[in-house]
Amino acid sequence: MTQQPIRREAVSDQLFAVLRDRILGGGLPPGSPLTAERDLAAEFQVNRHAVREAVKRLQQARLVEVTHGGRTAVLDWRRTAGLELAVGIAAAGHGPSTGDLSRDALEMRACIGADAARLCAVRCSDQEALAIAEAADRFAVSGPDLDELHTADIAWWRLIVEGSGNLAYLLAFNSLVGGALPVADVPDDLRAAELLDVEAHVRLAAHITARDDGAAERLARDLLSRSVPATPRKAVR
């Protein structure tokens, strides 16, 4: 199949995305050699500097590695790549692995939120617990507008994640709410099931204030799981 020349703007970025998608889609399977630099330059009609920059990004994403002797081999991305790969796929808006990414991010959100609530109940200061309870009370008097509730909900969860004292959770939270991972496109009925349950928000704050970490974890998981679509998905292989 003849490959069309890629656009000239941000050439190395485009080439990286094409090669990334080939790796994720299995066109370049784990253990296989990456297409030679000169062949990639000829295929895409770009200079070899752009190819080297694209390959460097593949290395940084842990999709390929340069072995002894200078051979560039494709890695098993399921074993080597990090969360930044999902962020990159989401930013590109396309690719062979995007179909379930939104659901996966929502499942991650529920898991992180549940454990953050547990840790917050154990670790947060009395002042932080009071702030969480007061934010829940303000949430309780919010109007029924889902977008307004969504904004208030993010601010409330930020207090909980910060109170957990877990920096990795906080950075993941920033990626989730900042749009780096696709969690915004939740159907309104699922959003409503989570956001309109004001009583659950107030109870969760009470569990944290009472230092009941088990109850906080269970309720947080139940609350956040309501926004996860129930459609079946294929397991990651």
Region 226-235: mean pLDDT is 69
The residue with tokens 């969760």 is: 204
3-class DSSP state of 1: coil
Q: Strand, helix or coil at 74?
A: strand
For the segment 192-207, what is each residue's pLDDT rounded down to a tens digit? 888 889 899 999 999 9
> What gap in Å lies between CA 176 and CA 77, rounded to an integer?
22
Does residue 59 sit in the same domain as residue 148?
A: no
In this structure, the answer to whether residues 27 and 124 fall within a common structural domain is no
Q: What percent of the chain has pLDDT over 70?
A: 84
Q: Please name which of 103, 205, 192, 200 lies closest in space to residue 148, comparing C-alpha atoms.
A: 192
What are the CA-CA distances from residue 138 to residues 43, 115, 199, 230 (Å)? 59, 24, 12, 31
Residue 173 sits in the same domain as residue 138: yes
What six digits make up the tokens of 86?
């999902």
Average pLDDT rounded to a whole number, residues 168-175: 91
84 and 110 inside one domain: no
Domain of 202: which CATH number? 1.20.120.530
CATH number for the domain that contains residue 47 = 1.10.10.10
pLDDT for position 184: 54
Spatial separation of the C-alpha atoms in residues 77 and 61, rounded to whole Å: 9
Confidence at residue 1, expressed as pLDDT on a 0 to 100 scale: 45
- Residue 235 placed within a domain: no
Furthest CA-CA distance within the chain? 66
> What's the Cα-to-Cα distance from 108 to each of 183, 186, 207, rounded to whole Å?
10, 14, 22
pLDDT of residue 181: 61
What's the pLDDT at 209? 97
Clarify whether residues 108 and 220 are in a common domain.
Answer: yes
Strands 64-66 and 72-74: antiparallel
Residue 62, domain extent: 11-92
Q: Does the pLDDT of residue 55 top 50, yes or no?
A: yes
Higher pLDDT, 150 or 7: 150
Mean pLDDT of the chain: 85
Do 43 and 111 reside in the same domain of the chain?
no
Q: What pLDDT sits at residue 93?
A: 55
88 lies in the same domain as 18: yes
234 lies in a domain?
Answer: no
Distance of CA 212 to the CA centre of its chain: 28
With 0.85 as the threshold, say if the pTM is over it.
Answer: no
